[in-house]
Chain A
Amino acid sequence: GENVGLHLPTLSVQEGDNSIINCAYSNSASDYFIWYKQESGKGPQFIIDIRSNMDKRQGQRVTVLLNKTVKHLSLQIAATQPGDSAVYFCAQGSNYKLTFGKGTLLTVNP
């Protein structure tokens, strides 16, 4: 079956630093990948997505990198702010659904 997991369950950074959250996936047939942010008591919120015909995509302060050779996905957050503190999930799309990983808790220290 599909398996999407994260290398680090927690990540603590200083305000202003860059953050990198990593994710490994197992289903090489997936052609769509997405990152969500989930704050306490809220539903997952879309951050950025990428399709398999790309290896990098940038948004506002965020960048997603896709390495299909090693089946690895990462989320980079530039100039991390206290409001970025949340749990971050990667997910891969196939069979008309998204399959989520376990999540990484990002804590931003002032």
Chain B
Amino acid sequence: EAGVVQSPRYKIIEKKQPVAFWCNPISGHNTLYWYLQNLGQGPELLIRYENEEAVDDSQLPKDRFSAERLKGVDSTLKIQPAELGDSAVYLCASSLGTGGDEKLFFGSGTQLSVL
């Protein structure tokens, strides 16, 4: 069974440019998460989806970040415009249930470098 798939693995852009990350969760997993991981730090939640509904986006910087999960399966996270401080690893994760009391399965992440 395939795990959580993310693309691209690496992305280098200049500041003020837009960038998008894609995630395909494990088949059958209703809950999808986007986490941000800075170097040497633990992952921090950006947004959580239950099916197609964003049920927790309180940590998402909505002035420049957006996300969608239109059909309740794969998801896209976008940054426009990117800033130098956005350089980090963006991790996608999924879980079978609604989360908080079960393990999450993570993808390999997209490493973003903003120059």
List residues of A whose CB falls within 8 A of some B CB.
4, 31-32, 34, 36, 41-46, 49, 51, 89, 91, 93-103
Contacts and interface: CB of A to CB of B under 8 A. Distances in A.
Contacts, number: 63
Given A96-B48, A100-B44, A103-B42, 4 more contacts: A31-B101, A43-B4, A93-B99, A100-B42
Interface string B33-57: 1000000111111001000000110
B42 A91 contact: yes
16 contacts: A32-B100, A34-B103, A36-B106, A41-B108, A43-B4, A43-B93, A45-B106, A46-B104, A49-B103, A51-B101, A89-B43, A93-B102, A95-B56, A97-B45, A98-B104, A100-B44
A34 B100 CA distance: 10
A85 to B, nearest CB: 16
Contacts of B56: 95-97
Contact of B100 (A44, A93, A102): A93
Contacts of A36: 106
Given A43-B91, A97-B33, A97-B56, A102 B41 contact: yes
Contact of A43 (B48, B99, B102, B106): B106
The size class of the interface chain B forms with chain A is 20 to 34
Interface of B: 4, 33, 40-45, 48, 55-56, 91, 93, 98-109
Contacts of A49: 103
B100 A97 contact: yes
B101 A100 contact: no
Nearest to B105: A46
A49 B104 CA distance: 11
